[in-house]
Amino acid sequence: MSKPTHILLGQTLSFSGDPFLTPFADSVTVEQRGAVVLGDGKILAIGPADEIAAPEGVKVDDYGDGLIMAGFVDAHLHYPQTGIIASWGKRLIDWLNSYTFPEEARLADPDYAKEIAKRYFDLALANGTTTSLSYATIHPSSVDAYFTEAQSRGVRALAGKTCMDRNAPDNLLDTAQSAYDDSKALLEKWHGVDRLGYVITPRFSPTSTPEQLSALGALWAEHPECLMQTHISEQHEEIAWVKDLFPNARDYLDTYEAHGLLGERAVFGHAIHLTEREQARIKEVGAGLVHCPTSNTFIGSGIFETARMKADGQRVGLATDTGGGSSFSMLRTMAAAYELSQLKGSPLHPAQLMWLATCGSAGVLHLGDKIGNLAVGMEADLVVLDLASTPAIAQRSQRAGDIWEAIFPTIMMGDDRATKAVWIGGKAVRP
């Protein structure tokens, strides 16, 4: 039995089920005066504060009305795009060419990549995001920069070298062979080191030749323990382009499947405009989908129907998609998911939004047994939210009739000012 080192007191939010599938009474618990006991980087106990005694010598942090919950899990983002977030006026392909590719080329400089990685993790932690799955650039040193920064902070983080061997500027192209070789070397260097995970990363079908997709499919077959991430069916123009580039494919998903890039550990970003066949096949395989709502409105991509996809039995997580997404905040991201769900006539409940940003994303990353929930044995990566972080939020939550009404204004209007504390591996990194 590990030795307790800290006890955190406050309101606690934990899940015992999926609130899309199970009534809230059976899937989510909010303890008004709860306690979370930490030791050895893990959660050792959780329960009502009056049932948990503080052993001698254990440090007690009392957050009052603060909401103690699992840290947010951002399941799809591009840390190299940190500096170009909120770039105006383009749809996906033009946005990539005008803003993204020129900035990603700058990360050829390892010092610049280090600076951006540091800036990214500062922003993520300020917003209570404790695990991130990022794309790097084509440069192996950009993967090193991200993992080195994550390792020095002790955070759980995943990423991969973005692979592209066509339809991008010359200075951002690799080849089928170099993508395989570089990805393999990075995987061997980083996967499973401390809290880091390597993710095989073809950017998307338009920027990879069939040869490159096959090479990465072969690498994945050699390392089935790794995740594979890519983009799918984000915009109609993109889907039409894929059709032109892969005339023999049944659909967009088939461009991945035909090259060994479909499996349970596949993580597909966006997945807005899937055909019936694609949706059924993804479900059959058990691959994960990542909803990126601020990106989908910002780049003008369309509406991912979260409630419909969850009702269909899809595995769904939530992500900022920095810098196509317009915020580093998972609160703002939940707000955007809520707004889009309203446009489709099926408003997501705050319990479902919180689940997507924690358990849902962790599940898509196959890390649901380690992160994404307050439960005994889970890693102690936590965020404590101030549910009255601005005057506008405070006056609304003050008149709340129940805990969800108290939480919802923070989801809709909260930002990094709501982050009262962040714990990583059982240590407070932001007091």
Given candidates 140, 160, 324, 372, which one binds ligand GUN under the rule CB under 6 A? 324
x-marked contacts with Zn ion along 256-295 as a string, rule CB under 5 A: -------------x--------------------------
DSSP string, 328-350: S-HHHHHHHHHHHHHHTT-PPPH
For residue 204, state whether it binds ligand GUN (rule: CB under 6 A).
yes
For residue 167, state whether it binds ligand GUN (rule: CB under 6 A).
no
Structure tokens at 365: 């990353």
Given candidates 165, 174, 182, 234, which one binds ligand GUN under the rule CB under 6 A? 234
Given candidates 321, 379, 386, 415, which one binds ligand GUN under the rule CB under 6 A? 321
Candidates 59-67, 92-100, 144-152, 277-285; binding stretch for ligand GUN (CB under 6 A): 92-100
Residue 312 CA to residue 200 CA, distance in Å, equals 27
Question: Pick from ligand GUN, Zn ion, none: which does 100 bind, CB < 5 to 8 A by kind?
Answer: ligand GUN
Residues 320-339 that bind Zn ion (CB under 5 A): 321
For residue 304, state whether it binds ligand GUN (rule: CB under 6 A).
no
For residue 273, state whether it binds ligand GUN (rule: CB under 6 A).
no
Compute the least distance from the CB of residue 197 to ligand GUN, in Å: 20
Question: Pick from Zn ion, ligand GUN, none: which does 234 bind, CB < 5 to 8 A by kind?
Answer: ligand GUN
Provide the 10 A C-beta neighbour count for residue 244: 8
Based on CB atoms, which residue is closest to ligand GUN, 9 or 96? 96
CA 181 to chain centre: 27
Per-residue DSSP letter, 134: E
Candidates 36-44, 187-195, 319-327, 340-348; binding stretch for Zn ion (CB under 5 A): 319-327
3-state secondary structure of 3: coil
Based on CB atoms, which residue is closest to ligand GUN, 191 or 231? 231
Given candidates 134, 229, 295, 410, which one binds ligand GUN under the rule CB under 6 A? 295
Per-residue DSSP letter, 376: T
For residue 231, state whether it binds ligand GUN (rule: CB under 6 A).
yes
Answer whether 120's CB lies under 8 Å from 126's CB: no
Q: Residue 98: exposed, middle, or buried by beta-carbon count in 10 A (0-12, 13-18, 19+)?
A: middle
Compute the least distance from the CB of residue 234 to ligand GUN, in Å: 5
Structure tokens at 431: 């007091």
x-marked contacts with ligand GUN along 67-86 as a string, rule CB under 6 A: -----------x--------
Per-residue DSSP letter, 264: T
| Residue closest to ligand GUN, measured at CB | 324
Based on CB atoms, which residue is closest to ligand GUN, 295 or 306? 295
- The helix (H) or strand (E) run that includes residue 38 is strand 28-39
> What is the total count of residues that contact ligand GUN (CB under 6 A)?
12
Based on CB atoms, which residue is closest to ligand GUN, 229 or 410? 229
Identify which of 303, 298, 292, 269 has the alpha carbon closest to the alpha carbon of residue 86.
Answer: 298
Helix axes 140-153, 110-126, angle to 10 degrees: 40
Based on CB atoms, which residue is closest to ligand GUN, 295 or 419? 295
Mention every residue, 6+ apart, whose C-beta is less than 8 A from residue 125: 153, 155, 422, 424, 429, 430
Based on CB atoms, which residue is closest to ligand GUN, 145 or 382? 145
Whole-angstrom CA distances from 403 to 118, 172, 375, 396 are 36, 49, 20, 12
Whole-angstrom CA distances from 48 to 3, 8, 70, 164 are 20, 11, 17, 52
Question: Pick from ligand GUN, Zn ion, none: which does 293 bind, CB < 5 to 8 A by kind?
Answer: none
Residue 30 CA to residue 24 CA, distance in Å, equals 11
For residue 100, state whether it binds ligand GUN (rule: CB under 6 A).
yes
Compute the least distance from the CB of residue 292 to ligand GUN, in Å: 7
Answer whether 165's CB lies under 8 Å from 207's CB: yes
Peptide bond before residue 323 is cis, with ω within 30 degrees of 0: yes
For residue 203, state whether it binds ligand GUN (rule: CB under 6 A).
yes
Based on CB atoms, which residue is closest to ligand GUN, 239 or 412? 239
Mention every residue, 6+ apart, whose C-beta is less than 8 A from residue 98: 87, 90
Compute the least distance from the CB of residue 125 to ligand GUN, in Å: 22
Residue 316 CA to residue 345 CA, distance in Å, equals 19
Phi, then psi, of 156 in degrees rounded to 5 = -80, 125
Based on CB atoms, which residue is closest to ligand GUN, 270 or 396? 270
For residue 165, state whether it binds ligand GUN (rule: CB under 6 A).
no
Q: Which residues bind Zn ion (CB under 5 A)?
A: 269, 321
Q: Which residues bind ligand GUN (CB under 6 A)?
A: 78, 92, 96, 100, 203-204, 231, 234, 295, 299, 321, 324
